[in-house]
C-alpha cells in the first residue's frame, strides 16, 4: 500500500512496504479435497445457505409486495437462479477467486494485491478508497447477518405456535448474547461440528424441496430465463422493486472469496457446484411449488415445507445453521480487523489467539461492539422481514465495488483483451447496479442503517490512515540522519551495559525516543538498535526474508523485521532468530524504548479540526504497542512528546 494511506501506529509502529514481493507464504489450507470441501460447507456457506429462511417470503410479503401468481412466482425463481449462476458461480467462483493474494482473498487482500499496479496513478487513490469503503460495508453486513439469520430461524416458533410470537425477540437476544460470550473461548472445537451440521441442513432442505416439487413438477420450468424476462416485460416497475428482496438469495457470495485463504479455491468450488447450489435451487423450487398450491403458506414457505411431524426438528436444524452463519460472520469480522490493523486502516487493538490454528483469533473490542449493534438491531426492527430491508444495500454495494477492483485485475494484472474484459464487466456492472438501485428504494424502510454504518466506519478508517500519514510526515521533517547522529552521539554520551531497542516507524532518521533519551538521560547502551517493523502487502513472508540488519559502527544497528498482513507481530520471538547484529538478543538484557505522541489539534493544512480531534481520540484509545508487538512488560520504557498535525 502507499505510505500516505497505510501509515500505522505511532513512532514505534509498523509501516508497510509499498511493493509486492514474490515471497512465499505458508500453505495453511492443507488436507484432502473432500475434507476441506466439507469444512467449507460448514464455514463459508452459512450466510447464503440460510437465505431460504426469508428470501422468497420477503420478495412477496416484504416492503414491496408482488402478486402471488405464476407470472411473478416463476419470474422471481428464474431471477434468483440466474443471479446465483451469474453472480456467485461465474463472477465469484469462476473469476474473482482466481485473483488471490498468495492464497488469500477478500477486499483488503485484493486491494493489497493490486496496489502496486495503481501506485502513482491519478486514480489509484480512488481505487484504494473504494476498497476501504467495501471493508466498511462489510462491517455493516457483520452486524446485520447475525440478527437476520438467527431471527429468521427462531421465527419458526411463531409459525408453528402463534401464541409464542412474543418469545421470539427474547429468545433471539438470548442466543446472540450466548454466541458473543463464547467467542473468547475460541471456536476451534465448535467448528469441527459446523461441517456435519450444515451437511445435515442442506440435505434436509434439499429433500423437503424435492418432496414439494413432486407435488407440482411443472415448477421446474421456472428455471428458464425467459420467465424473468416475461415478468420484467409485463410488470417492469414491480419487477425492479422485487430485485431488492431477490438479492437476498445471493447474500454471502462475497464470503466465498473472503474465506478462500482458509480452505483454498478448489474445495469451495466443489462444495458450491456439487452440493450447496443444487440444495438451494431445490429448496427455492420447493417453496415456489408450495406457494402455487397453497398461497396461505406465504407466512413462511420455508417452514411450511415440513410435514407436521418434522416441524420442530426443522426448527432446531435451521436455528443451528443460523448460529453457524452468525459465527462465520463474526470470525470474519475478527480476520478483517486484523488485516486492517496490519495494513494501517485501524488503530492497534488487543488481539488474542484462541488456538494455534491460523486465523483463530479473538478481538474483544470488535466482539462487544458487534454484540451491542446486533442486539440493538433486533430490538429496533423486531422482525426479520424488517431487517431484510436493511440487508441488501451493504451486500450489493460491496459487490459493485468488487467489480471495480476486478476491472483493475483484468486489465492490469491479467492483461485480458478488452473485447472479453469489457463484455464480462458490463454484465456484472449491469446486474449489480440493478440490484443496488432496487435496494436503494428501501432506504426509508431501514436501508439507511447499513449506509450510516458504512459512512461512519469509512470516516474512522480514513481518518486514522490520513492522520498517521500526517504524523509521520511531521516527525520526518525534524529527523536527523542516523549516520550523522551516531558519529556525534558516540563521543558525547556515556555507554552502559546491555541492549537498547528503539522502535521506529520509518527506515530512515532517528526515532524521537532515542533523541529524548539522549536529552534527558545522557547515556547510551553498548548496543543501540533502531528497529522498524514492516507489514508487507502479502499475507505471509518467508523466514529467510524475515529480517535485515545494517551495522553503522560503534554499536549502532538498524534492523528491519518483515511480516505479512496475516501474521502475528511477535517481535521478541523474531529477534531471537536475528544473528547479524553482534551477539544474540537476550530479552533479560534488552530494553525497549517506545515513543508515545500526544496530539494537539491545529489549523495546519491536512485535516479538518473535527477529524484531528477524532484522530487524537483514536490514538489515545489504541492498544499499547507493547502488547501489540508482544514486548516483555518489564523491559519497556515509554517516552512521550507533543505533536501538532
pLDDT in tens, 612-645: 888 888 888 887 778 888 888 888 888 766 666 6
pLDDT in tens, 28-49: 444 577 777 787 787 788 788 8
pLDDT in tens, 589-608: 888 988 777 777 666 667 88
Alpha helix (H) residue ranges in 441-550: 448-477, 482-492, 512-521
The predicted structure's pLDDT at residue 8:
40
The predicted structure's pLDDT at residue 217:
94
Cβ atoms of 15 and 7 within 8 Å: the answer is yes
The predicted structure's pLDDT at residue 550:
86
Alpha helix (H) residue ranges in 344-383: 364-381
User: Which helix (H) or strand (E) covers residue 97, if one does?
Assistant: none
How would residue 4 be classed by pLDDT, with cut points 50, 70 and 90? very low
pLDDT at 21 over 60: no
How would residue 17 be classed by pLDDT, with cut points 50, 70 and 90? very low
Quickly count helices (H) and strands (E) in the chain. Answer: 27, 9
Dist. CA 52–CA 302, nearest whole Å: 7
User: Which conformational region is residue 498 in: left (phi greater than 0), alpha (psi within -120 to 50 degrees), or beta?
Assistant: left
The predicted structure's pLDDT at residue 12:
44
How would residue 511 be classed by pLDDT, with cut points 50, 70 and 90? confident
How would residue 490 be classed by pLDDT, with cut points 50, 70 and 90? low
Which of the two residues, 553 and 501, has the higher pLDDT score? 501
User: What predicted TM-score, i.e. pTM, was given to this entire model?
Assistant: 0.79
Which of the two residues, 526 and 260, has the higher pLDDT score? 526
> On the CB side of 261, how many CA atoms lie within 13 Å of its CA?
27
The predicted structure's pLDDT at residue 476:
67
Which of the two residues, 567 and 7, has the higher pLDDT score? 567
DSSP assignment letter at 104: B
Mean pLDDT of 352-378: 80
Out of 489-493, 523-527, 612-616, which region has the weakest mean confidence (pLDDT)?
A: 489-493
- pLDDT above 90 as % of the chain: 20
Dist. CA 540–CA 197, nearest whole Å: 32
Dist. CA 180–CA 506, nearest whole Å: 38
| Beta-carbon contacts of residue 304 (< 8 Å; ≥ 6 apart) | 159, 290, 294, 297
Dist. CA 615–CA 621, nearest whole Å: 10
Cβ atoms of 329 and 366 within 8 Å: the answer is no
Closest to 448 measured CA to CA, from 517, 366, 391? 391
Which of the two residues, 359 and 616, has the higher pLDDT score? 616
DSSP assignment letter at 356: S
Out of 89-98, 154-163, 353-362, 424-433, which region has the weakest mean confidence (pLDDT)?
A: 353-362
The predicted structure's pLDDT at residue 22:
36
Mean pLDDT of 476-496: 73
pLDDT at 383 over 50: yes
pLDDT at 472 over 60: yes
Assign a CATH topology to domain 3-19+36-465.
Amino acid/polyamine transporter I (1.20.1740)
DSSP 86-99: IIIIIIIIIIGGG-
Out of 201-205, 290-294, 444-448, 455-459, which region has the weakest mean confidence (pLDDT)?
A: 444-448
Dist. CA 201–CA 212, nearest whole Å: 17
At 285, list the grid cell. Answer: 423450487
The predicted structure's pLDDT at residue 267:
86
pLDDT at 349 over 90: no
pLDDT at 189 over 60: no
Which of the two residues, 378 and 338, has the higher pLDDT score? 378
The predicted structure's pLDDT at residue 32:
76
Which of the two residues, 4 and 632, has the higher pLDDT score? 632
Average pLDDT, the chain: 82
Closest to 280 measured CA to CA, from 458, 534, 88? 88
Mean pLDDT of 566-590: 85
Out of 81-85, 108-112, 395-399, which region has the weakest mean confidence (pLDDT)?
A: 108-112
How would residue 357 be classed by pLDDT, with cut points 50, 70 and 90? low
Out of 103-107, 186-190, 390-394, which region has the weakest mean confidence (pLDDT)?
A: 186-190
DSSP 197-254: HHHHHHHHHHHHHHHHHHHSGGGGGGGSHHHHHHHHHHSHHHHHHHHHHHGGGGTTHH
Dist. CA 361–CA 338, nearest whole Å: 9
Mean pLDDT of 275-296: 94
How would residue 120 be classed by pLDDT, with cut points 50, 70 and 90? low
- Tallying the residues shown for the chain, one arrives at 645
3-class DSSP state for residue 177?
helix
Dist. CA 449–CA 442, nearest whole Å: 10
Instruction: Tell me which residue has cell 486492517.
Output: 340
The domain limits of the chain are: 3-19+36-465, 480-644
Which of the two residues, 559 and 260, has the higher pLDDT score? 559
pLDDT at 443 over 50: yes
pLDDT at 1 over 50: no
The predicted structure's pLDDT at residue 23:
35
Closest to 384 measured CA to CA, from 131, 61, 9? 61
Mean pLDDT of 261-285: 88
Amino acid at each position: 500500500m502507499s505510505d500516505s494511506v497505510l501509515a500505522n501506529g505511532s513512532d514505534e509502529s509498523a509501516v508497510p512496504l509499498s511493493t509486492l514481493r514474490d515471497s512465499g507464504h505458508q500453505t495453511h489450507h492443507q488436507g484432502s479435497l473432500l475434507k476441506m470441501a466439507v469444512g467449507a460447507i460448514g464455514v463459508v456457506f452459512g450466510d447464503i445457505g440460510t437465505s431460504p429462511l426469508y428470501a422468497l417470503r420477503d420478495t412477496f410479503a416484504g416492503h414491496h409486495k408482488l402478486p402471488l401468481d405464476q407470472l411473478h412466482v416463476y419470474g422471481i425463481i428464474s431471477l434468483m437462479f440466474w443471479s446465483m449462476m451469474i453472480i456467485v458461480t461465474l463472477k465469484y467462483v469462476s473469476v474473482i477467486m482466481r485473483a488471490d493474494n498468495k492464497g488469500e482473498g477478500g477486499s483488503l487482500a485484493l486491494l493489497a494485491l493490486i496496489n502496486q499496479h495503481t501506485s502513482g496513478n491519478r486514480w489509484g487513490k480512488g481505487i484504494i478508497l473504494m476498497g476501504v469503503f467495501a471493508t466498511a460495508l462489510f462491517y455493516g453486513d457483520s452486524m446485520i447477518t447475525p440478527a437476520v439469520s438467527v431471527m429468521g430461524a427462531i421465527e419458526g416458533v411463531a409459525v408453528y405456535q402463534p401464541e409464542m410470537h412474543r418469545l421470539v425477540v427474547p429468545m433471539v437476544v438470548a442466543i446472540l448474547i450466548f454466541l458473543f460470550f463464547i467467542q473468547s473461548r475460541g471456536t476451534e472445537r465448535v467448528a469441527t461440528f459446523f461441517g456435519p451440521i450444515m451437511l445435515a441442513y442442506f440435505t434436509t432442505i434439499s429433500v423437503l424441496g424435492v418432496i414439494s416439487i413432486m407435488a407440482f413438477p411443472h415448477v421446474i420450468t421456472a428455471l428458464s430465463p425467459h420467465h424473468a424476462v416475461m415478468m420484467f416485460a409485463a410488470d417492469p416497475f414491480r419487477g425492479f422493486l422485487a430485485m431488492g428482496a431477490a438479492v437476498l438469495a445471493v447474500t454471502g457470495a462475497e464470503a466465498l472469496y473472503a474465506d478462500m485463504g482458509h480452505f483454498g479455491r478448489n474445495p469451495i468450488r466443489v462444495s458450491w457446484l456439487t452440493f450447496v447450489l443444487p440444495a438451494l435451487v431445490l429448496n427455492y423450487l420447493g417453496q415456489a411449488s408450495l406457494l402455487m398450491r397453497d398461497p396461505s403458506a406465504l407466512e413462511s414457505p420455508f417452514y411450511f415445507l415440513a410435514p407436521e411431524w418434522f416441524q420442530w426438528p426443522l426448527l432446531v436444524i435451521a436455528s443451528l445453521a443460523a448460529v453457524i452463519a452468525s459465527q462465520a460472520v463474526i470470525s470474519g469480522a475478527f480476520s478483517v480487523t486484523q488485516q486492517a490493523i496490519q495494513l494501517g486502516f485501524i488503530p492497534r487493538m488487543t488481539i488474542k489467539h484462541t488456538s494455534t490454528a491460523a486465523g483463530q483469533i479473538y478481538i474483544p473490542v470488535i466482539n462487544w461492539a458487534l454484540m451491542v449493534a446486533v442486539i440493538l438491531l433486533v430490538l429496533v426492527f423486531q422482525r426479520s422481514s424488517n431487517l431484510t430491508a436493511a440487508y441488501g444495500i451493504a451486500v450489493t454495494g460491496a459487490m459493485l465495488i468488487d467489480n471495480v477492483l476486478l476491472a483493475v485485475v483484468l486489465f492490469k494484472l491479467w492483461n485480458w483483451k478488452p473485447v472479453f474484459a469489457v463484455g464480462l464487466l458490463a454484465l456484472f456492472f449491469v446486474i449489480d447496479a440493478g440490484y443496488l438501485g432496487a435496494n436503494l428504494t428501501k432506504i426509508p424502510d431501514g436501508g439507511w442503517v447499513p449506509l450510516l454504518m458504512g459512512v461512519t466506519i469509512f470516516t474512522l478508517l480514513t481518518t486514522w490512515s490520513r492522520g498517521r500519514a500526517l504524523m509521520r510526515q511531521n516527525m520526518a521533517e525534524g529527523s536527523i540522519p542516523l549516520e550523522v547522529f551516531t558519529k556525534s552521539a558516540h563521543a558525547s554520551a556515556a555507554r552502559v551495559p546491555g541492549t537498547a531497542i528503539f522502535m521506529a516507524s520509518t527506515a530512515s532518521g532517528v526515532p524521537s525516543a532515542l533523541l529524548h533519551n539522549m536529552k534527558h538521560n545522557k547515556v547510551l547502551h553498548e548496543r543501540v538498535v533502531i528497529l522498524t517493523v514492516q507489514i508487507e502487502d502479502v499475507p505471509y513472508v518467508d523466514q529467510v526474508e524475515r529480517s535485515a540488519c545494517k551495522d553503522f559502527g560503534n554499536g549502532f544497528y538498524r534492523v528491519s523485521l518483515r511480516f505479512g498482513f496475516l501474521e502475528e507481530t511477535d517481535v521478541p520471538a523474531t529477534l531471537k532468530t536475528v544473528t547479524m547484529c553482534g551477539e544474540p538478543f537476550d530479552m533479560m538484557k534488552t530494553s525497549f524504548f517506545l515513543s508515545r505522541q500526544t496530539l494537539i489539534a491545529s489549523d495546519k493544512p491536512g485535516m479538518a479540526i473535527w477529524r484531528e480531534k477524532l484522530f487524537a481520540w483514536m490514538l489515545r484509545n489504541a492498544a499499547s504497542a507493547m502488547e501489540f508487538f508482544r514486548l516483555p512488560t518489564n523491559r519497556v520504557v515509554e517516552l512521550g512528546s507533543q505533536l501538532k498535525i
